[in-house]
Amino acid sequence: MISYLYWFVLIALLFVILFGLGARLNRWKPAIIVSAIVLASGTLLYYFYLEQMFVKRWGGSMSISVPAGQVHMGATWKDDNLWIQNYDPDTNTCIFSEYARGNLLEGRVVIRNCNPLLPARQPDTSTREN
C-alpha cells in the first residue's frame, strides 16, 4: 500500500509541475525538463533505495520468481536486504541469493552436496542377534 502512495504522490507532483509551470505560466520547456528530472529521480530513488525498505518496514509489495528447476526453501532479511534460499535438485546444491537495493552488489552463496530435501539418515540402533 505504501508503494502505491509513493507513486501517487510522485505522479501528483508531476501534474503540479506540468500544469502549474507549463499551462499556467506558459513555460512548457522548463516544465517538461523539470518533470523529466523529477520522474527520473523519483524512479531511481524508489528502485535503488526505498523498495525493499517499504516492503520490510511498512508492508509494501515486491515479487521475486524462483528460477526454473529450483525449489524455494526459505527467505530472511539481513538489514534491508532480502536473502532467498533455493535448492537445485539437478546439481544437488543450495543457493542463497541476496536481493539488495537496486539489484547492485548482490551476494550469492552456493553450497554443494546440500541435499536438504531428503530426510536425515538415522543411525541404526537396533542390535542384531547371531
Question: pLDDT tens-digit profile of 62-111?
Answer: 778 888 888 888 888 887 778 889 988 888 888 888 887 666 657 788 88
Distance between CA 73 and CA 113 in Å, rounded? Answer: 15
The pLDDT assigned to 36 comes to 95
Residue 12: band (very low, low, confident or very high) from pLDDT cuts 50, 70, 90: very high
- What is the distance between the alpha carbons of residues 95 and 83, in angstroms, rounded to a whole number? 10
Per the listing, cell 522548463 goes with 30
Grid coordinates of 72:
524455494
Q: 86 pairs with which residues across the strands?
A: 72, 95
Q: How long a stretch of residues is the chain? A: 130
> Parallel, antiparallel, or unpaired: how do β-strands 93-99 and 71-78 relate?
unpaired
Give the global pTM.
Answer: 0.60
Region 105-118 average pLDDT? 76
Residue with the bigger pLDDT between 40 and 91: it is 40
Grid coordinates of 121? 539418515
